[in-house]
Amino acid sequence: MTIKASRLRLLLGDQLNASHSWFREQDDDTLYVIAELHQEASYVPHHVQKVCAFFAAMSAFAQALQQAGHRVLHLTLDDTAQCPDLPALITHLIEQHGVSAFEYQLPDEYRLRDQLSVFASSLAIPSNAVESEHFYLSDQEIPRDFKQGKRHRMEAFYRKMRVRFDVLMEGDNPEGGQWNYDADNRNKLKAKDIDDVPEPLLFGNDVTDILARIERHEIKVIGQSESNLLWPITRTQANELLAFFCQHCLPNFGRFQDAMTGQTDDEGKRKQWSLYHSRLSFALNSKILSPQHVVDMAVYHYQTRPDDISLAQVEGFVRQIIGWREFIRGIYWANMPDYASLNSLSAKRDLPSWFWTGNTNMACMKHAIQQSLDYAYAHHIQRLMITGNFCLISGIAPEQVDEWYLGIYIDAIEWVELPNTRGMSQFADGGIVGSKAYAASGNYVKKMSDYCGNCHYKVAKTTEDDACPLNALYWHFMDKHQDDFGGNPRTKMVYANWNKKTDEQQGLVLERAERVLKGIEGL
In angstroms, the CA 51 to CA 57 distance is: 10
In angstroms, the CA 58 to CA 46 distance is: 17
In angstroms, the CA 142 to CA 327 distance is: 9
Beta partners for 202?
none
Measured from the Cβ of residue 522, the count of other Cβ atoms closer than 10 Å reads 10
Outline where DSSP puts E strands in 95-244: 101-105, 127-130, 169-170, 173-174, 205-206, 221-222, 228-229
Measured from the Cβ of residue 126, the count of other Cβ atoms closer than 10 Å reads 11
pLDDT at 39: 93
Cβ neighbourhood burial of 216 (10 Å; 0-12, 13-18, 19+): exposed
Measured from the Cβ of residue 332, the count of other Cβ atoms closer than 10 Å reads 25
pLDDT at 483: 87
CA–chain centroid gap for 277, Å, is 13
Cβ neighbours for 166, distance < 8 A, ≥ 6 positions apart: none
pLDDT along the chain (523 residues), means of 10: 86 98 95 96 95 98 97 97 95 95 97 97 96 96 94 94 96 94 84 89 96 96 95 98 97 93 71 93 98 98 96 95 97 97 96 96 96 96 96 98 97 97 96 91 94 94 95 96 86 89 94 96 95
Q: Do 233 and 56 meet the contact criterion of CB atoms below 8 Å apart?
A: yes
HEC-encoded secondary structure of 7-64: EEEEECCCCCCCCCHHHHCCCCCEEEEEECCHHHHHCCCEEHHHHHHHHHHHHHHHHH
pLDDT at 269: 66
Q: Do 75 and 36 meet the contact criterion of CB atoms below 8 Å apart?
A: yes
Beta pairing class for 71-75 and 228-229: unpaired
Element (H, E) at 75: strand 71-75
